[in-house]
Amino acid sequence: MSQLTGIPVGASGFIEPKRERISAFWILLALFILGAVTVSVLPGWNYVVKGLGVFLALAYLIETLRGRTHIAPEAVLYLAWLTWSLTGVFEHPSTELFFYVWTTCFQIWVLLVIVSGFTDGRKALSLNFAVFLLAAFILGAHSYATGEYQAAEAGTGVRLEGWARDPNAFGWIMLLATVALAYFWMLPTRAKWLKYGFLLAGFAATGISEILSVSRTHIAGMAFFFLAWIWLCYRKTLKRNLMVALAVIGLLVLAGYAGVQLTEQSGGTPRYQQILDTLSGRATGGSAYIRLQNFKVGWQLLMDHPLTGVGLSGFLLRVPYRLMAHSEYVEIAVDTGVPGFLLYFGILWVLWRRAGKLARQSDSAYVVQVANLTRAAVLMVLLTDLGRWNYYEKSAWIILGSLIGFTNAAWREHLAHKAAPAGEDSAAAVLSPRPAVGTLP
């Protein structure tokens, strides 16, 4: 298994970006991430988080005026989508609700600009992910301390939600925390067994928490992410070493078996039965059935309003069950029309394309692995978008914004390195070579 620990060394050796720096600005960003992930939905605390956001925006404005920031193409696309969405106000049944949601989305755009811009300028990817993991740990610890975890495990019908106040939101945070754990798994370290022991415990904790949240979309997303991550980052190793491949398959099968047992013990099986009943046509109720009906209504709404859509959150007011579509594809298409759909999902396309170019062209093993992790995360988001939405979800854009900022900076440095004459320093000189990465004994 040693081949699956640490970042492999290419012909050019291991290269990592300049060392991350802790600044006053990042401390403010860290506090905001902690608050946004843990307590932002609680009464009173939401104003504290918003206040931190205002200070963060002002600090970032100062950074921008000093010429230390870059605007990522993804942030431009989000703003273009948000601007286009204004055309739907004329179709919306409630102007007040429309602008409430639009304002929330504008705040998300500011968050995306700040997180991606700061990560771009300071290479704060590890710092951002570490704070996100701390926030996820706080959520999990709170659930355990209050007895919610024990009640869910005992099959009492309780679902893990903690301070997130929603099992699906809780499951999404645990899924994003898994992405952060995967990032730290790939980083080289000297205290190998200690580090990998903690990370394996972290994977187990997020997996168990995911199952006890009984969030079907995110459980599927976690399984898919592991497969995508292993394939994109380690497929060459798996092809070369049969024993490693068999060990990985064995671990995945064991994890799947343990997940099924925990699901049955906690009483979560009926929620999966709902899906089978809905697909077979036997269901006449339940969340899976209602979502399927909403999808059908959404298709008709899109056919009736293909250009402007029905306005942000307009879908909610036009379906019999008065529920969100529980699919970002449906929500974006129905609310903002086909042009809005293309602009919004263009964000993930641009990120995927840049990460793919870095994975193929970069001389840095570190950058290649982060690029492949980014591609696995994008695929996971695209899959889970079938059953959730992210366009005004803060935790999603913290992780995506961090990956956007890092890949944006890495791509500029790659282009500068290619453009520099042979033997001369370039913008890539800020990358410092390191000796070969060791492997576990």
**Which backbone phi and psi does 14 adopt, to 5 degrees?**
-85, 130
Task: Kindly tell me if the per-residue pLDDT of 288 is higher than 80.
Answer: no
Place of tokens 């398959």: 249
Per-residue pLDDT reduced to its tens digit, 400-439: 999 999 999 999 888 888 776 655 544 443 343 333 332 2
pLDDT score, position 189: 74
Mean pLDDT of 383-405: 92
- Measured CA to CA, the distance from residue 399 to residue 392 in angstroms comes to 13
Per-residue pLDDT reduced to its tens digit, 341-370: 999 999 999 999 999 999 999 988 899 999
Q: What is this structure's pTM?
A: 0.88
HSE on the CB side for 111, CA within 13 Å? 26
> Which position has the higher pLDDT, 269 or 142?
142
b/e for 284-310, b at 16 or more Cβ within 10 A?
A: eebbbbbbeebbebbeebbeebeebbb
Place of tokens 């046509």: 281
Residue 151: count of CB within 10 angstroms of its CB: 17
Q: Where are the domains of the chain?
A: 2-10+22-417
- Measured CA to CA, the distance from residue 335 to residue 102 in angstroms comes to 11
Cβ proximity of 124 and 18 under 8 Å:
no
- Measured CA to CA, the distance from residue 385 to residue 326 in angstroms comes to 8
Q: What is the CA radius of gyration of the chain?
A: 22
pLDDT score, position 222: 94
Per-residue pLDDT reduced to its tens digit, 110-141: 999 989 988 887 667 888 999 999 999 999 99
Retrieve residue 277's tokens: 């009943």
- Lowest-pLDDT range, 22-31, 147-156, 202-211, 232-241? 22-31
- Measured CA to CA, the distance from residue 438 to residue 436 in angstroms comes to 6
Task: Kindly tell me if the per-residue pLDDT of 23 is higher than 80.
Answer: no
b/e for 173-202, b at 16 or more Cβ within 10 A?
A: bbbbbbbbbbbbbbbbbeebeebbeebeeb
Among the listed residues 347, 368, 352, 351, the one whose alpha carbon sits nearest the alpha carbon of residue 414: 368
- Measured CA to CA, the distance from residue 336 to residue 84 in angstroms comes to 7
Per-residue pLDDT reduced to its tens digit, 35-92: 989 988 888 888 888 888 888 888 888 777 666 667 899 999 999 999 999 999 988 8
Q: How far is CA 434 from CA 12, 126, 247, 340, 345, in A?
A: 10, 18, 30, 45, 37
